[in-house]
Every structure is written in structure tokens, then in C-alpha cells.
Amino acid sequence: MEYTLTLIKGDGIGPEVTGSALRVLEAAGVRIRWDEVLAGRKAIERFGTQVPGTLVESVRRNKVALKGPTGTPIGKGFQSANVLLRKQLNLYACLRPVSNVPGVRTGYDDVDLVVIRENTEGLYSGIEHEVSPGVVITLKIMTEAACWRIAEWAFTYCRYHGRHKVTAAHKASVMKMSDELFLRCMREVSERYPFIEYEEMPIDVVGLHLAMDPTRFDVLVLENLFGDIMSDLAAGLVGGTGLVPGANIGDDCAVFEAVHGSAPDIAGKGLANPTAMLLSAVLMLEYIGERKAAKRIRNAVYTVLEAGRVRTRDLGGTASTSEYTQAVIDAL
């Protein structure tokens, strides 16, 4: 079967890491016709907006996209392309599976957790105003509908992926209405899944436990800002954002992308680690049902990392993005 999927190369190291993924997907024999569209800085230059209509239409049509990181110009009034895309396509669930990678030693063994972040509201509503000079308000929006939706999605994910425990992170002691609403929805949905353990934990305590013993977590469910911060922290536990895949999933379509940003400091130098993008492509293959190819690519990546001879600079090696990609292809 030949698939038609949307490709967003993105900014900074985006073209390098998506280029790596395309080479590996082709070598694995997956037949994909890429519908390439612009987002981020390149889209601003061409269309004056981060997320042009052609991009949204392409993902709506093809249902699945592979996306490189996009840069957001700070202080120029542009909203993040990611925030816009997630809202426009209703990609309400952000999935980030975080586990140890063979051969990459960190302070923790046996990390195997999944961060599920609500992607459309919370403190990332993007609604801000200056009440009077020097006084600014940012709104944290929480709706029962979105809280229910992410709770349902999280427990369904657990059921299909053999996960056994859900931790709902919150700060209900301070944000008594919004986070209590989130917890109420999580609690009500959890009652339908008595075979999945459910607990609630203040976000600061989640941070403490992640730093001291991340193995105590299985699936973490969080509102938008908490989820953003904790998923990067979790990535740091297993070797950094260059290693952790991600997906933004809605009822109609899904966008697969690495956790990291466009890394302007190393862009165009062949230094980027494409592992996170390769593993995001693996998630994408699993989503479209190409499980065999997904497994082969994941195994090839793990084989190269475990052998340790070919590594990018962030992991202490000297290989370029391209040399590392070739090693993965050879391992296939």
C-alpha cells in the first residue's frame, strides 16, 4: 500500500531530522508519498502566518502528518505554530512515551512512563490582556468537555497499551476551581476502569518523585502547561529531548513530532540527533498500522545506540546526523 501523508520539515534542525526520518522510512520499505507544506518561520515569510490554510487542509485531508520543529519569533506577536495547529486541528491529546534507550546510561534504569498532556486549553489558552499598566492577566481556561475528553483518551490508551496506573497531576490546593474540575472528570472516568490504578498528586510532588524515582510512574495525565514542563523533565531522565518521540492526536487526525525544538544553535551543522524524530516516525507507523516496519526501525535505532560506536555529539559521539542515519539504515 502507498500512503499519502503530510510532511512539515519545519525550521532550524527540522529539515535535517525529518530528512533522516524520510531516508530511514524509505529504507524500511514503507511507501509514502509526501504532501509537503510549510509551517513556522518559513510559512511566515511566504504567507505571513505560522499556520497557513494549506497546511491545515493537507493534514485534514491526509489525516496524518510528520512534523519537524518550528520556531516561534519571540516578541513579534506571533503565536506558536504548534499551539495554533493543535487548536485548529483539535489535536487535544499530546502523547510522549518516555523510556530508557539501550546504551544511553542515565541516573535511572527502568524508566517506562507515558506523559499525556491536554493540548488545547489550560494556561496555554493564549488569552492575555493588560488590565492596567504593569498588570497583566493570562487566563487558564478549563472546560468540563476538554477535561472529560482527555480523561477518556488517557484511560482508553491505558487499556489498549497494557498500562496499569494513572497519576493525575494538579495544583488543586491553589487553583481550586479549575484543577478540581480536571480532577473530578479524571476521577469519574477512572471509576469505569477499576482494573487501572488511579491516584492524584500535586504537580510539585510529581516533580519531586520524577527526580527521585521516576519508575514509580506509569501514565501521567496533566493540563497543558504542567504537561509541557514535565514532559521535558521526563525526557531529561532518559538522556534528553533528542531521544524522546511525541504525537499530537485528535479524533480526526494526528501530527507526529519530536519533543525538542528547532535548536537554532546547531541548525545546518549536521549535529542534530534525529533519534527523537525517528522514534516519532515509529509512533506514526504504529498509528497507521505498519507495526512490522515500526518494530524494525525501533530495533535498528536501539541497535546503533546500544553498540555506541556511531553517536551524535549530544550523546558524547562525533557522528553527523547523516552518518548516524546511515548507521540506522545499515542496521535495518
Amino acid identity, residue 114?
V
Shortest separation between residue 107's beta carbon and ligand NAI, angstroms? 19
Site track 26-65 with ligand NAI (rule: CB under 6 A), x = hit: ----------------------------------------
- Which residues, at least 6 apart from 52, have a Cβ–Cβ distance to it below 8 Å? 37, 38, 39, 43, 46
Residues 255 to 294 in contact with ligand NAI, rule: CB under 6 A: 257, 260-266, 272-273, 276
Can residue 224 be called a binding residue for ligand NAI (CB under 6 A)? Answer: no
Total residues contacting ligand NAI by CB under 6 A comes to 22
Closest by CA position to 153, among listed 47, 30, 254: 254
Q: By beta-carbon distance, which residue lies closest to ligand NAI? A: 261
Out of 19, 227, 242, 245, which residue is the one contacting ligand NAI (CB under 6 A)? Answer: 242
Can residue 325 be called a binding residue for ligand NAI (CB under 6 A)? Answer: no
Using the minimum distance from each CB to ligand NAI, give the nearer residue, 56 or 151.
56
Shortest separation between residue 17's beta carbon and ligand NAI, angstroms? 6
Can residue 231 be called a binding residue for ligand NAI (CB under 6 A)? Answer: no
Using the minimum distance from each CB to ligand NAI, give the nearer residue, 103 or 202.
103
Using the minimum distance from each CB to ligand NAI, give the nearer residue, 167 or 273.
273
Out of 52, 69, 227, 239, which residue is the one contacting ligand NAI (CB under 6 A)? Answer: 69
Can residue 314 be called a binding residue for ligand NAI (CB under 6 A)? Answer: yes
Closest by CA position to 85, among listed 40, 44, 46: 40
Using the minimum distance from each CB to ligand NAI, give the nearer residue, 206 or 263.
263
Using the minimum distance from each CB to ligand NAI, give the nearer residue, 276 or 319.
276
Shortest separation between residue 266's beta carbon and ligand NAI, angstroms? 4
Out of 58, 62, 72, 280, which residue is the one contacting ligand NAI (CB under 6 A)? Answer: 72
Please identify which residue in the block is written with the cell numbers 484543577.
Answer: 179
Shortest separation between residue 183's beta carbon and ligand NAI, angstroms? 28
Report how far residue 35's alpha carbon sits from residue 24's, in angstroms, rounded to the nearest whole number.
Answer: 18
Task: State the burial class of residue 204 (Cβ atoms within 10 Å of its Cβ: 0-12, 13-18, 19+).
Answer: exposed
Shortest separation between residue 65's beta carbon and ligand NAI, angstroms? 12
Shortest separation between residue 262's beta carbon and ligand NAI, angstroms? 4
Can residue 118 be called a binding residue for ligand NAI (CB under 6 A)? Answer: no
Can residue 82 be called a binding residue for ligand NAI (CB under 6 A)? Answer: yes
Report how far residue 282's alpha carbon sits from residue 152's, in angstroms, rounded to the nearest whole number.
Answer: 24
List residues binding ligand NAI (CB under 6 A): 13, 17, 69-72, 80, 82, 241-242, 257, 260-266, 272-273, 276, 314
